[in-house]
Structure formats: C-alpha cells, structure tokens
Structure 1
Amino acid sequence: MITQLLAIARNTFVESVRQPILYILVMASGLLQLFNVFLSMYSMGFGDSAEVSGDDKLLLDIGLATVLLCATLLAAFIATAVLSREIEDKTALTVISKPVGRPLFVLSKYLGVAGAMLTATAVMLLFFLFAIRHGVMSRAFDDPHIPVIVFVFGSLAIATGVAVWGNFFYGWVFSSTAITILLPLLAVGYVASLFLTHNWRMQPPTTDLTPQVLMACAGVAMAMLVLTAVAVAASTRLGQVMTILVCMGVFLFGLLSNHFVGRHAFVNYPVQQIAEAEAVSDRDGDFRDAGDTWRLTLRGELRDELSPGDALHYATNPGGIAMLTPTQRSLEGDPTRERDVFSPESGPAVVVLATPSARELTIVNVGGANVRRPPRAEDYIFTAPTRTNAAARVAWSVTPNMQFFWLVDAVTQAHPIPPRYMLMMTGYGAAQIAALLALAVILFQRREVG
C-alpha cells in the first residue's frame, strides 16, 4: 500500500512540475514582486519598531497577497491537469483497475500535487523575501541593494540557461528543469544576501533576518496546502474552469468569512478592555475561591453602567468566544457581606464589588466560581453571556478560514507571533485538509472513470 501510494504520488509530482503553467505563474509572481517594490513607495509609510516599517509594510501586504493569489490559481490548474483530465481521458481507469483503492488514489494525487505546489510556492516566497530584503526605495538618496539584484537575476540566468541547454541537447522538460535548479539557487542566494549590505560589505546574518516575516510565509504555505485540497476535491467532479471558480470562491469567502458569518456566530458586545489587572485579596492568585477580589483598570470609560452585584464576564477576544467565566447570574444578595459572598446559594458567579471610577472596577468571586484563569491585561469584559447562532457557527466552522493563516497584520503591528499559535494553525490546517480529502473521496467514490 505504501509502495503504491509513493509511486502514484511521485508520478503525480513529476507530471505536475512539468506543467508549463507552473513555470509561467511562478515567473509571473516574481515579476509582480518586482513591480510591488516600486508601487509600494507611494504609501507614505512611517517608521516604527516592527520587523518591517514604513513603505515596506505595504510591500509585505501586497507581496504575500501576490504569492497567495498565484498559488490559488496554480493549485486549480495543476489539480485539474492531473486528476480531472485523467478521469475525462479514461487514463485513471488503468490505475484504479489494478488493486488500488479510490481513497488511496485520491490521497496519492493530493500528495503529488501538494509536493509540486510546495516547490512552486517556495520559489514564489523566495522572490518575495528578496523583495523584502531589497526594501522600498522611498527616498531619492536610497541606494538599490546590489547583492539582491545580482543573486536574483543571476539565479534566473543560470536556471534558464541550463534548462534551455538541457532541453535542446538532452530533451529535458524546460519548466521542471528550470524550477528544480532555480529553487536551491534562490535559497542559497537569499542566505548569502543576509551576510551582505547593499554595497557588498559583510554583516552578521541576524542584522536583517526577519523571523516574524518567515512565520507569515509559513502561514501562506499552510493556506496553500489547504487550497490544494480544495482544488483536488473540486477536480474529482468538475472541469478546469469550474475548479478555478470554486478555488477562487473558497479563497475569497475564506478571507471574508469572519465578516459574513463569523460575526453572527457568536453575538456579544464588550463594555471595555482591561488595561491592568491586579489581585486585591487572593492567596493563591487563581481567582477561583469564594471571596477572591481583583481590581481592574480599564482602557476607557464603561460603555454600560455597572452596579455592585452585576455579573461580569471576560474573554480574550471582543466577540466573547470561549468565555473564561462559567455560566452565571447576577448576585441577589450584597457583595460586600461575607455571608452572601461565601454562601453556595449566592453563586457561583463573578460579580462587580465596586466601581470606584468610570475606568476602574473591583470584582469578587462569589460562591467559588470555577473560572479558567484570572483576568489579564488585553482581556475584554462583558455584562452578559455570549449568544450562539447555530447556523452561522456551522457555516463559519466548515469554511476554511484564510484569516487564520494571514499573519501580516501581526507582523506590521509589531505583535510577536507565539510558537503556540503556529502549532494551532498547523493543526487547524491539517484538520481542514483531512476533511477536504474525505470529501474528495466521497465525491470520487461513485465517479464514472471508464
């Protein structure tokens, strides 16, 4: 079974990288990155402490968007070339008629296409990283980064020359040869450029290394793998044009799903955001025992009036998803009396103890409410539990959410991307890929191939 899987995947990979459209879209992506460097100089950016600043912020945004758009189109073209066309030409029957199950056939095709897509996306991302390394020349006295220009165009010249020579004398496939040679050349060239300034002077490689940008590139690569699974699933039943439309539709709706359905899935409105939280009376600091008291300093004035005894909820996001407080109700007694605070009949609940000012709250745990953790800075506070719209939640959950993979905003706003988020993003992408491949198997199971 493993031998069959690897054999079909290898043949699919070779067939995919030989597609002329792969070379065309990769080169188009590189050309667009060149244009992006010049177009971004009109954003009138400003400097800050982020890894990219000023006009480079716009370059980061449109550069990664270019890679993602080209990868989406490429996934649709390649998937239809290696699966839909094989079904229509009856060539898939020669494989399925052997002891190869349809699920194994679909999985093998996905692995082969995904390998080709990773290769193409890696080249496109290297073009993008070179653009970021060069940077936008916003001022008249800015000098071009000569090593970047030499490494990029030198790699292109070598790869193209070898591919033309091999095609003419040995019959090598031009597109696959050029891409195979170009990938390592660009990778070595990018690493070498980190050691050089714009005028060929040596520097430590960490001077211009941008790990947060590399994480954003990894997010785009993960999104590409998900879109490849979409393309494979669509190509089991649809032709090339419809597969492209489905991929673009999923891509666009995935980017906008938070607005169209996500905001209706969980309905709640924060009254303010916490600027600082400190324990007033809490022996173990977990805010889980009856009588534990905390003081909250808010970023602004409360949008709703709160009185002592009112229930308070808090969460890490403004939509109220995954509340950190349990289901609770307002206190009927007096939160300043110990008898009411420690009585099991009064809670469990987190309630307002006092409101010293419009930007300050004192809260108390009544009856030992089992909160997930104490309040922290950046948490949002609410006066009511979050309502759930089942239909919107299902639609939001099954749609591949491209915003989870789009980490550009975190980079431009100088918010460090934690490794834990990268692991969660990878798990989410793997779950989406598994679901889409299961759908592809279902669609292909009764497809006539002979």
Structure 2
Amino acid sequence: MPFAQVIAIARTTFVEAIRQPIYFFLIALCGVIQIFNTWGTNFSMAYSTSAEVSADDQLLLDIGMGTIFGCGVLLAAFIATATISREIENKTALTVISKPVGRATVVIGKYIGVTVAIMMATAVMLLFLLLSLRHGVLTTAADDPDQPVILFSFVAALLTLGLAAWCNYFYGWSFTQVASTLVLPTFLLAYLGVLLFSKEWRPQPLGTDFMPAVTLACGVLAMAILVLTAVAVAVSTRLGQVMTIVVCAGLFLFGLLANHLVGRGAMDNKVIAYIQSVESVDLADQSFSRPGQRYTVVLDGPPNEDILPGGSFYYGENPNGFRLAVPPFAPFEGDPEGDVLGRDVEPAVIVTGVDGLTVHIRHIGGRPLNIRRPPMVNDAVFLRPTEYNPVLLTAWVLTPNMQFFWLMDAIAQNRAIPAGHVAMVMLYAVLLIIAFLALGVAFFQRRDVG
C-alpha cells in the first residue's frame, strides 16, 4: 500500500471534511448546548464534594460528555458519507481508482482524513466542556458568573467568526473551512487564559483548575467516536447518507445498551457482597493455589444470601460473574472441619466459618483446584458458578460495547482511572477499528463505482 497515496487521499479528505457546513454547524451547536447545560443542570441532588467534579457539576459533566458523544457520532456519519458515499454516487471515486489506486488505499486514506477532522472537532468540544465545568452551575441566585470564562470565550468566538468572515469577504476563502481551522487554537488560548485566573481575576498557577481525570475520560470517549467513524466509513461504501446515519445511530444506541439488552442474559449469577479486606492465614505462601491454604475475608456489608459453613465460595473482579477467579467445582457435602484433604475429596473452595461479616475460606481437595488468583479487595462474592448462554454471550462479545468508553462513574465516585484499564480500552478500540475498516475494504472491493 503506497504511503504517499494514503497521505494524499487523507489530506484531500480532511480539507473536504472541514469545508462541509455541517462540520462547523455541529461544533457550534455543541458549544451552544454546553452554555444551556450550565443553566439547566441545577438541583441534581448530587452530594459528593470530594471528587474532581462535585455537586450539581456532576450532572453538567454527564450531560456535557453525552453532548460530545452525540455530536461526534453525527459528525462521523455526515462527514463519512460526504467524502465516500457522495463521491461514489457522483462517479468522482472512479477517477481516483483508475489512476490506479487500490481500493484498500482509498478506504484507509479516507478514514485517516475523516479521523483527523473528527479529532479536531472533538478537541474543540472538549474545550467547550472544560470551560463550562470551570464556570460551573449557578445553583443559587447568590452565585456569581465566572467572568474570565465569559470574557475569554466571547473573545475567542468573536475572533473565530470575525476572521472567518474577513477572509471570506476579502479573499474568497471558505467561511466554514477558516472558522473550523481557527476555532481550535482560539479556544485553546481562551482556556489557557482562563486557567491563569481565578473567578475573581486573581492570578493562579496553570494547573489549579485543570481537570486531568475529565480530560482523560474525554480522551477515552474520543476513541469510541473513532470506532463509530470506522463504522461510518465502512457502511458509507455501500449505503447512502440517511442509511449510514441510521446504522451509526443504531449501533451507538445498541452499544450503550448492550450490557442491559444482551449482557445480563449472557451470564446468570448473583453477587451477594463485596470484599472489604483479605488476610492470608498462611503467611509463607499466599498464592491460594495449594489445598489446605486458608484466607480470612471481611465483607463490606451483610450478604444478600446466607453464607453457611461447608458452602461454596466464588469470587472475581466482575460483578456480573464473568471470568471468576475460581473455576466451577462440585459442591462439598462433607464436614468442613473433618478430613478435607483426602484423595477422594474433590477440589473446592469452601466456607469453614462465619463470624458476622468475617468469612473464613479454605482451598480443599486431594488435588489442587486451578484457582487463577487469591481473593482481593473489591472482589465480588458469589455462592455458585456462573452459567453462560452461548448465543447471548456471542452476541454480547461481538457487539461494540460503548460502556467501556464511558468513565463518568469513576469521576463521580472520585476513583483513580487505572492506566492499565485505559490501555485495555485503547486496545479494544484499535481492534474494533481494524475490524470495521477490514469490513469496509471488503464491501468496497465489489462496489461498482463506474
């Protein structure tokens, strides 16, 4: 695949994308919605005051991130169809393919060009959100508006529109192209200017009001937009604009609801409690991989079901019971205080004693059970193995799950977002993008463009 051809197609696609009136319109629409969000998210009943975003601003963040997500999906669908589907319908794509340029090169080049345009728009929408969060919700009449946010944002908008109108009137340049190009640097400078001052115009360090967790969460959300951009590019090789938007919107909504619609039926298990603390009785070997080893587990609250001595004990990091750390085993039917290490004893993890919220568990059996790891803090506790529905599980796995990209809960609960989780989500997004682009190339190979 010639790299120069990919870059040339990507450059042309990017210019075509930002020249589309819908491109700047959706960016501006997102900014207007963020303004109204600061007025309409009062009385959210949020009580947290320790998180990076607290009280009524939590609802502002939730709606603001949803606004970015929705506008990003619409942008991806509109831009992809404008640069691919319309070119096929107008026979413009034939002149490119006949040069000759491989069809895979066209699809990948188009995707890169659309991606750069989408990422530029997403960055602008993120700046709108950060400015609205800095301003905050005016919960009461006694709250004063954030004057630096209002002033710097107004100046940035005025410069963007004024310079775009000037260039259009005197030089004949495309208004939307100039405005779309200027809106990112002007609002970036506006946000940096806002960070330098408090709400009372007192100078402050640049990082005082910066929100790294929100920025990281929006960066992960941008990966979901790139996945849907790949979907839009793939679908637009076969369908027109309306159907591409329908497919993208449908996949977007189904991906958000996949856990509820499909995931809950794919696995059947019930979490009874969560682990608050753990302690190994055998300090020399805490692997919990050998029969006879014991652990003391303290639950975070009363269990939803009775935990009885001799009963089975399962645990894992997922509250839906997916990929438990303990594999399925036959229920133990003997005396938990008797001989539980004999050759005829089937391997298991059982409860040997219960004292309030403290549960004593033991690895038993004549041979070791293939336990993946010992119990850990925040693990979910179960009394039985998880049952799987193969059909629903396959559908759940194959569905692009948009909930993986939504990190609002971590911010609202003031929990650190692990770097490993971000890396896994990024890898998941890259695999989805590759899969959809491969599907798009396959669709385009047999498409008649003549």
Q: Distance in 2 between matches of 1:195 and 1:393?
A: 50
Secondary structure class of the residue paired with 1:350: strand
Q: Distance in 1 between matches of 2:225 and 2:218?
A: 11
1:449 partnered with 2:442: no
Partner amino acid for 2:130? L
1:270 partnered with 2:271: yes
Give deviations 1:275-320, integer Å, cap 9, x for gaps: 2221223422222222111111223333334443332211112211
Q: Distance in 1 between matches of 2:394 and 2:100?
A: 38
Q: Distance in 2 between matches of 1:43 and 1:312?
A: 40
Instruction: State the partner residue of 1:414.
Output: 414
Q: Distance in 2 between matches of 1:186 and 1:109?
A: 27
Q: Distance in 1 between matches of 2:119 and 2:271?
A: 41
Partner amino acid for 1:328? F
**CA RMSD after TM alignment:** 1.6
Partner amino acid for 1:354? G
Q: Distance in 2 between matches of 1:45 and 1:261?
A: 30
Contact 1:309 1:333 in 2 (8 A): yes
Question: How far is the alpha carbon of 1:272 from its aligned partner?
Answer: 2.2
Alignment map for 1:23-42 (pairs within 5 Å): 23-42=24-43
Contact 1:333 1:346 in 2 (8 A): no
Q: Distance in 1 between matches of 2:307 and 2:141?
A: 56
Question: How far is the alpha carbon of 1:205 from its aligned partner?
Answer: 2.4
Instruction: State the partner residue of 2:150.
Output: 149
Using the TM superposition, name which of 83-92 and 210-219 deviates more: 210-219
Using the TM superposition, name which of 315-324 and 300-309 deviates more: 300-309
Partner amino acid for 2:40? L
- Could you state the TM-score of these two structures normalised by the residue count of structure 2? 0.96
Partner amino acid for 2:203? M
Instruction: State the partner residue of 1:250.
Output: 251
Instruction: State the partner residue of 1:122.
Output: 123
Unpaired runs of 5+ in structure 2? none
Q: Distance in 2 between matches of 1:312 and 1:125?
A: 45
- Could you state the TM-score of these two structures normalised by the residue count of structure 1? 0.96
Contact 1:5 1:108 in 2 (8 A): yes
Question: How far is the alpha carbon of 1:139 from its aligned partner?
Answer: 2.1
Instruction: State the partner residue of 2:209.
Output: 208
Partner amino acid for 1:211? P
Alignment map for 1:23-422 (pairs within 5 Å): 23-337=24-338, 339-341=339-341, 343-357=342-356, 359-366=357-364, 367-422=367-422
Q: Distance in 2 between matches of 1:317 and 1:36?
A: 34
Q: Distance in 2 between matches of 1:391 and 1:107?
A: 33
Secondary structure class of the residue paired with 2:350: strand
Secondary structure class of the residue paired with 2:41: helix
Question: How far is the alpha carbon of 1:15 from its aligned partner?
Answer: 0.6
Q: Distance in 1 between matches of 2:163 and 2:302?
A: 67
Give deviations 1:39-90, integer Å, cap 9, x for gaps: 0124244342111111101100111111111111111111110000001111
Q: Distance in 2 between matches of 1:70 and 1:305?
A: 48
Q: Distance in 1 between matches of 2:199 and 2:128?
A: 17
Partner amino acid for 2:27? V
Q: Classify 1:43/1:332 alpha carbon distance in 2 versus 1 (closer, same or farther; 3 Å).
A: closer
Partner amino acid for 2:419? P
Give deviations 1:216-260, integer Å, cap 9, x for gaps: 111221111011111111111111111111111111111111100
Contact 1:50 1:411 in 2 (8 A): yes
Question: How far is the alpha carbon of 1:199 from its aligned partner?
Answer: 2.0
Question: How far is the alpha carbon of 1:380 from its aligned partner?
Answer: 1.3
Identity of counterpart residues, as a percentage? Answer: 49
Q: Distance in 2 between matches of 1:336 and 1:318?
A: 30
Contact 1:79 1:232 in 2 (8 A): yes
Contact 1:332 1:346 in 2 (8 A): no
Equivalenced residue count is: 447
Using the TM superposition, name which of 295-304 and 119-128 deviates more: 295-304
Using the TM superposition, name which of 387-396 and 51-60 deviates more: 387-396
Q: Distance in 1 between matches of 2:196 and 2:360?
A: 54
Question: How far is the alpha carbon of 1:98 from its aligned partner?
Answer: 2.2
Using the TM superposition, name which of 420-429 and 141-150 deviates more: 141-150
Q: Distance in 2 between matches of 1:154 and 1:377?
A: 50
Partner amino acid for 1:202? P
Q: Distance in 2 between matches of 1:78 and 1:42?
A: 37
Contact 1:236 1:444 in 2 (8 A): yes
Contact 1:282 1:292 in 2 (8 A): no
Unpaired runs of 5+ in structure 1? none
Q: Distance in 2 between matches of 1:302 and 1:44?
A: 28
Contact 1:347 1:368 in 2 (8 A): no
Question: How far is the alpha carbon of 1:174 from its aligned partner?
Answer: 1.0
Q: Distance in 2 between matches of 1:190 and 1:122?
A: 12
Give deviations 1:152-184, integer Å, cap 9, x for gaps: 111111111111111112121111111211101
Instruction: State the partner residue of 2:5.
Output: 4
Q: Distance in 2 between matches of 1:44 and 1:345?
A: 58
Partner amino acid for 1:296? V
Secondary structure class of the residue paired with 1:371: coil
Q: Distance in 2 between matches of 1:276 and 1:44?
A: 31
Partner amino acid for 1:107? I
Partner amino acid for 1:384? R
Q: Classify 1:305/1:41 alpha carbon distance in 2 versus 1 (closer, same or farther; 3 Å).
A: closer
Partner amino acid for 2:118? M
